[in-house]
């Protein structure tokens, strides 16, 4: 994977975000985005999925290999874990809005396989206007952050999942949005459940427990 100069390649996504966003408009506009260099190697940009007005928004890191090829978020193995965990809390996965902090797949080639590589801070910052637009359209009652990259996108580089996971946090003042969600709940990314080979059941149960906290917070408002 070839990287170009950040000064040249990272103007930020704002110029491609529609002035009056709707979900259909965002889905159409994101494919033209040149906010950072990741568009050069990815198959396509992947916008979020779910209904406008969803009470719960879940934010992950970036599309994976399958998501990049199919153009839909959370359709690979991690997506299946997330859907199962949501269902275990009594939530219909089709009624939540799922998206990623970064809309293009960052990867390295290993033979003929494309191996996930986490986006860096500059790429996350360049993509931030898309997430802000999604928040403006969906206006969720709560946001669940799935993993460290999503957390750092809102709370900065010092964010650590383990410090706040499963607890309700206030929306960060440093991230202005038209209507800030009442709360944010950090938890692990479902991919971390898949990586926990020896303790996968416990990792899954922890994810479900955190999601139950989010669902309970929705019910209390």
Is 36 part of any domain? yes
Confidence of residue 176 (pLDDT cuts 50, 70, 90): confident
Identify the pLDDT of residue 2.
43
Contact status, residue 135 vs residue 53, Cβ threshold 8 Å:
no
Residue 51 predicted with pLDDT over 60: yes
Chain center to CA of 17: 17
pLDDT in tens, 91-148: 999 999 999 999 999 999 999 999 999 999 999 999 999 999 999 999 999 999 999 9
Task: Please report, in angstroms and rounded to a whole number, the separation of the first and last CA atoms in the chain.
Answer: 46
pTM: 0.94
Nearest C-alpha neighbor of 139 from the set 22, 7, 15, 1:
22
Residue 19 predicted with pLDDT over 80: yes
Identify the pLDDT of residue 185.
98
Q: What is the CATH classification number for the domain harbouring 162?
A: 3.40.470.10
Identify the pLDDT of residue 219.
82
**What is the span of the domain harbouring residue 124?**
6-219
Average pLDDT over residues 172-198: 92
Is 17 part of any domain? yes
Is 196 part of any domain? yes
Q: What percent of the chain has pLDDT over 90?
A: 90
Is 96 part of any domain? yes
CA-to-CA distance for 57 and 138, rounded, in angstroms?
8
Identify the pLDDT of residue 195.
93
Residue 61 predicted with pLDDT over 50: yes
Q: Find the farthest-apart pair of alpha carbons in the chain and give their distance in angstroms, rounded.
A: 50
* Total count of domains within the chain: 1
Residue 4 predicted with pLDDT over 80: no
| Beta bridge partners of residue 23, listed in sequence order | none
Confidence of residue 73 (pLDDT cuts 50, 70, 90): very high
DSSP the chain: -----HHHH---SGGGS-SS--HHHHHHHGGG--SSGGGGTSS-----BS-TT-SEEEEES---HHHHHHT-TT-SHHHHHHHHHHHHTT--GGGSEEEES-SS--EEEETTEEEE----HHHHHHHHHHHHHHHHHH--SEEEEESHHHHHHHH-TT--HHHHTTS-BPPPTTS--SS--S-EEEE--HHHHHH-SSSHHHHHHHHHHHHHHHHHHHHT-
Identify the pLDDT of residue 6.
45
Is 30 part of any domain? yes
Residue 5 predicted with pLDDT over 90: no
pLDDT in tens, 74-98: 999 999 999 999 999 999 999 999 9
Average pLDDT over residues 27-38: 98
Is 1 part of any domain? no
Q: Give helix 148-155 / helix 121-138 axis angle, nearest 10°.
A: 80
Q: What percent of the chain has pLDDT over 70?
A: 96
Residue 197 predicted with pLDDT over 50: yes
Identify the pLDDT of residue 216.
96
């Amino acid at each position: 994977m070839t990287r170009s100069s950040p000064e040249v390649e990272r103007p930020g996504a704002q110029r491609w975000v529609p002035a009056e966003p709707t979900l259909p408009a965002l889905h159409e506009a994101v494919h033209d985005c040149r906010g950072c260099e990741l568009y050069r190697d990815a198959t396509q940009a992947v916008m979020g999925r779910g209904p406008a007005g969803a009470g719960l928004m879940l934010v992950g890191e970036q599309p994976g290999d399958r998501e990049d090829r199919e153009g839909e978020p959370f359709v690979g193995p991690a997506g299946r874990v997330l859907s199962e965990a949501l269902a275990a809390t009594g939530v219909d996965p089709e009624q939540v809005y799922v998206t990623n902090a970064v809309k293009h797949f960052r990867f390295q080639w290993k033979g003929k396989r494309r191996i996930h590589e986490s986006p860096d801070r500059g790429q996350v910052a360049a993509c931030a206007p898309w997430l802000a637009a999604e928040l403006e359209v969906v206006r969720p009652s709560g946001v669940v952050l799935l993993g460290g990259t999503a957390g750092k996108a809102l709370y900065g580089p010092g964010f650590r999942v383990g410090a706040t996971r499963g607890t309700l946090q206030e929306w960060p003042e440093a991230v202005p949005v038209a209507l800030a969600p009442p709360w944010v709940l950090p938890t692990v990314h479902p991919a971390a459940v898949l990586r926990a080979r020896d303790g996968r059941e416990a990792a899954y149960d922890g994810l479900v427990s955190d999601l139950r906290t989010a669902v309970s917070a929705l019910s209390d408002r």
